[in-house]
Amino acid sequence: MEQPKGILIDLDGTLYHGKMRIEGADRLILRLKERGIPYLFVTNNSSKTPEQVAAHLRDMGIPALPEEVCTSSLAAAKHIAEETPGARVAMLGEEGLRQALLEQGLHIVEESPQYVVQGIDRSFNYNALARAVRWIQEGAASVLTNPDLLLPSDTGLMPGAGSLGAAVEAASGVKPLVIGKPSSILMKFAADRLGVQTEDIYVVGDNIRTDIAAGVHAGCKTVLVLTGITTDQNMQSHIDAAGVSPDYICRDLDEAARLLCP
């Protein structure tokens, strides 16, 4: 394979599980640095700021800087700001989303929004649902940071942004614009940050339905690592469900490092 001009790397399930580093994650990043290959960490997580994501990686011994992190919140805020500069936005989400919206010059409001943008929101309640539905029915555009139905936690799987989004969509009757994987929007946002054309980028991830599908939809090459969601046993079912296949398959991160940085 040609040496990549840029790499977009998934986080949970690819570099770590919760608070536990996956074997070889630190070596992969150090090898990319040594070879001078540009890369970014790309996550559907909308709740954390880039500073928080980078700190979490460093706590596990994986080198990371905030400017190397792309979240679905950053991509959502950028998309709205480009479409409607200074837009009025009603937010259902947490600090990562709030900071991203404000940094793009958007105005977070409680009435008459032009957009309703929703991510994971652990304070979500019936009143929040009712307000969001009313705003969307009155004409506000509906934006979902990421469609993940479940997210990992220290106590097991918990409802994700997509589960809350399903309630908003069902009640409003309006499909949201989805920013995060498997949408290509997040990947194209990250590619722009790298300054590299998508066809020259490799996406590395553990989930065919999100990471690999997003890479394919964006026109990137893809590397599946068998470190998380996808296994030998379930791979074909994920390929069938997603309708896409990875360009390369690596059993672990050391194999991925040898492939990407020979």
Catalytically active residues, by annotation? 10, 12
**Cβ proximity of 128 and 162 under 8 Å:** no
Instruction: Tell me: cis bond preceding 182? Omega within 30 of 0 counts.
Output: yes
Q: Which two tokens stand for residue 17?
A: 């599980």
* In 1-128, beta strands by DSSP E: 6-9, 16-17, 20-21, 39-43, 69-71, 88-92, 107-108, 115-118
State how far the Cα of 78 lies from the Cα of 168, in Å rounded to an integer: 22
Alpha carbon distances (Å) from 226 to 111, 205, 254: 46, 9, 11
Count of CB atoms within 10 A of residue 58's CB?
12
DSSP string over 102-168: HHTT-EE-SSS-SEEEE---TT--HHHHHHHHHHHHTTPEEEES---SEEEETTEEEE-HHHHHHHH
* Distance (Å) of CA 252 to CA 52, 57, 77: 26, 18, 34
**Amino acid (1-letter code) at residue 210:** T
How many Å apart are CA 96 and CA 73, to the nearest integer?
7
